[in-house]
Chains A and B, each alone.
Chain A
Amino acid sequence: SQQGEEDPQALSIQEGENATMNCSYKTSINNLQWYRQNSGRGLVHLILIRSNEREKHSGRLRVTLDTSKKSSSLLITASRAADTASYSCATGNSGTYKYIFGTGTRLKVLA
């Protein structure tokens, strides 16, 4: 079964708006990462947040992590049409070497 579950499954917004995606997971983690995938391409790493961190920023990206709720959110501010892609979270689980991915949120930014 998938460790991470993203919500919503799909999101459509206008250019300039903010996009928020959520990820929930089930077990203890060492870190949580967010990736972006354009259609038919490989995944590209966006940001990694460790279990002892609560918030992290990278450009227009803001990631939060709440280990008590086993959830994370990815905020993309001032979205652009080029942000249209699928966004997935992955967890590095305590005690294992596996990175487990969620099903992803398909974001569409309308120009």
Chain B
Amino acid sequence: NAGVTQTPKFQVLKTGQSMTLQCAQDMNHEYMSWYRQDPGMGLRLIHYSVGAGITDQGEVPNGYNVSRSTTEDFPLRLLSAAPSQTSVYFCASRDKNTEAFFGQGTRLTVV
């Protein structure tokens, strides 16, 4: 049982490049979310999904796209990376009104 798996763990991008952060869970959870964490701040919600085919925006959605074609996968896409997107990204999954399970994070640097 792997839980929530995020890849890659580290990434360096140049401004303007695009990339996809991968997130997969094997717990059959309905709800999946992406957060970013900046130094000295708590987790901020980027996008979330309540099931396959259903996504919605969180607190800081600009510059990010998501899709949820399967229950297991919830990729986060940066279409044109900016230095302001330098952060640590966490994916989480859960069932309704239960605790969230987090991946180990992706440390992204945009230069």
CB <8 Å contact, A90 and B50: no
> Which chain A residue lies CB-closest to B91?
A42
A106 smallest CB distance to B (angstroms):
10
The secondary structure that dominates the A interface is strand
CB <8 Å contact, A97 and B105: no
B53 at the interface (CB under 8 A from A): no
Using a Cβ cutoff of 8 Å, how many contacts connect chains A and B? 60
Q: Mark B82-98, 1 if CB is under 8 A from A, else 0.
A: 00000000101010111
CB <8 Å contact, A42 and B104: yes
The size bracket of the interface on B is: 20 to 34
Residue of B33, B42, B100 touching A103 (CB-CB under 8 A):
B42
CB-defined contacts of A4 to chain B, threshold 8 Å: 42
Q: Mark A37-71, 1 if CB is under 8 A from B, else 0.
A: 00011111100101000000000000000000000
Give A104 to B102 CA distance when docked, in angstroms: 16
CB <8 Å contact, B31 and A33: no
CB <8 Å contact, B98 and A98: no
CB <8 Å contact, A45 and B48: no
Contacts A97-B48, A98-B45 hold; do A41 and B99 have CB atoms under 8 A apart?
A: no
Q: Which residues on A are within 8 Å of B, measured CB to CB? A: 1-2, 4, 30-31, 33, 35, 40-45, 48, 50, 88, 90, 92, 97-104
